[in-house]
Amino acid sequence: MTRQRKLILEILHKMGTHPSADELYDAVRMHLPRISLGTVYRNLEILSELGQIQKLELGGATRRFDWDTSKHYHIRCVECGRVDDAPLAPLQKIENELYGSTVFTIIGHRLEFTGFCPKCSLRHQSGSVSASP
């Protein structure tokens, strides 16, 4: 594993959040000032393909990354885009029920919850932001 890739993986793990490539790039640049955004993107793609991280393609416009590769769900704030893990066990039973009852070969599923993070909830409660559908 290259030094850059190892550092990207370490920083992603230490962040403990679900950062975008841009956010991760900003954090990595503190340690490797000459690294390019393209290098960070390429390494994130490679780490994802190797199964060492998860690439999250959620409902928001920004792709995010997760160091936790176990099956789990996410909650996304529709206001600011923050993503947290959802404390819910994977719905393996539904996958198992579908297996054999469809012509598709089931390889997985995605479930995303949406709402407002605590910070955005406070803004909505105070009336400073109008709720969007």
Q: Tens digit of pLDDT for each residue in 20-39?
A: 999 999 999 999 999 999 99
pLDDT at 49: 96
Instruction: Give CA angle at 2 (51, 18), nearest 5°.
Output: 45
Q: Are residues 76 and 36 in the same domain?
A: no
Q: What is the pTM assigned to this prediction?
A: 0.76
CA distance 28 to 21: 10
Q: Are residues 58 and 76 in the same domain?
A: no
Q: Which of 15, 50, 68 is the last residue of a domain?
A: 68
Residue 118 is part of which domain span? 70-133
More confident residue, 57 or 10: 10
pLDDT at 22: 96
- Token reading at 19: 């950062």
CA distance 19 to 61: 13
pLDDT at 57: 85
Pairing of strands 112-115, 73-77: parallel
* Total domain count, the chain: 2
pLDDT tens for each residue of 36-68:
999 999 999 999 999 999 999 887 667 899 999
pLDDT tens for each residue of 92-129:
777 777 877 888 887 777 778 899 999 999 988 887 65
Transcribe 27-46 into DSSP letters. HHHTT-TT--HHHHHHHHHH
**CATH number of domain containing 55:** 1.10.10.10
